[in-house]
């Protein structure tokens, strides 16, 4: 890495624009990350299949975190692909942190009988397209799940009874941008981020400054796990309710805000490195550079 950075980012509503799923507004900053060899760790509720397709579009070959921390995946030949506990996943290798999808669906079937909930496993590809705005190919990839079940609930607020029933079965519920997600208890983006950072530090022996960007409640654990947390506004310009130390707020929603604030962080870290006489950063994953 030319700069000692790891950047973890949510996708929908963060790097990708909410309605169009475009990353056009972040194009210049993405090119800069590639030029500086800074890993961009996609950290999303999206499936492994979805993220692999998006990595192709973005020109990325970095590790990624799928389905709200259900698994950490390493591309073939990556320096971390041989870490202890990694198992084969269709050409990649992965560290599994979540419960298998078959287990999630079996418990979800019980929730369906008690509550009016409907998950991806109950939907056709056409229905997933309707609820997400994805095209047919992307919707089919979203249906290829390993660890979590996104579901819809008729009311805006999910009753506590649903969360309690999930907890009694050893699962948890989190809220993303469009859906609730049923997944293993103890599984979240923050845990996966912390494990990924640990693996990078063990391999590189470098002090690494970590950055995290997100916009929704299921991103909060990720933002709490990094040195520089960044919250993006929703499409209406309002921010999710989050108050953690060192939190920064992007000036715009989606890819435009993402590109601007990541560029400013790159400038800041590069300036600090220059000020330190190229002796390396004074800070670790636990503290952010001074503004």
* Residues with active-site annotation: 10
**Angle 289-237-134 from CA coordinates, rounded to 5°:** 100
C-alpha distances (whole Å) from 196 to each of 9, 183, 189, 229 are: 13, 20, 10, 16
The answer to whether 222 and 212 have CB atoms below 8 angstroms apart is: yes
DSSP state of 127: H
The answer to whether 173 and 182 have CB atoms below 8 angstroms apart is: yes
Contacts of residue 27, defined as CB under 8 A and 6 or more positions apart, other chains included, come to: 255, 259
Evaluated on CA atoms 181, 186, 190, 192, the torsion sign reads: negative
Q: Based on C-alpha coordinates, what's the Rg of the chain?
A: 19
């Amino acid at each position: 890495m030319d700069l000692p950075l790891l950047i973890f980012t949510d996708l929908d509503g963060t790097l990708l624009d909410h309605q169009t799923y475009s990353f056009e507004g972040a194009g210049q900053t993405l090119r800069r990350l590639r030029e500086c060899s800074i890993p961009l760790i996609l950290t999303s509720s999206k499936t492994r299949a979805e993220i692999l397709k998006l990595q192709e579009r973005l020109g990325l070959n970095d590790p990624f975190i799928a389905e709200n921390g259900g698994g950490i995946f390493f591309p073939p030949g990556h320096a971390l692909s041989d870490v202890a506990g990694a198992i084969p996943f269709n050409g990649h290798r992965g560290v599994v942190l979540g419960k298998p999808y078959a287990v999630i669906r079996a418990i979800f079937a019980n929730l369906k009988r008690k509550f009016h909930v409907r998950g991806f496993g109950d939907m056709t590809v056409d229905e997933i397209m309707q609820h997400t705005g994805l095209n047919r190919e992307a919707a089919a990839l979203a249906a290829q799940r390993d660890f979590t079940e996104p579901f819809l609930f008729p009311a805006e607020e999910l009753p506590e009874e649903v969360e309690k029933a999930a907890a009694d079965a050893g699962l948890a519920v989190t809220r993303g941008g469009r859906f609730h997600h049923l997944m293993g208890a103890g599984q979240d983006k923050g845990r996966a981020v912390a494990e990924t950072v640990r693996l990078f530090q063990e391999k590189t022996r470098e002090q690494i400054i970590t950055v995290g960007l997100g916009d929704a409640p299921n991103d909060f654990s990720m933002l709490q796990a990094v040195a520089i947390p960044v919250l993006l506004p929703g499409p209406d310009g309002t921010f999710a309710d989050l108050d953690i130390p060192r939190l920064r707020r992007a000036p715009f929603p989606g890819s435009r805000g993402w590109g601007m604030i990541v560029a400013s962080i790159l400038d800041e870290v590069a300036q600090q490195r220059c000020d330190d006489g190229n002796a390396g950063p004074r800070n670790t994953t636990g503290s952010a550079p001074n503004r």
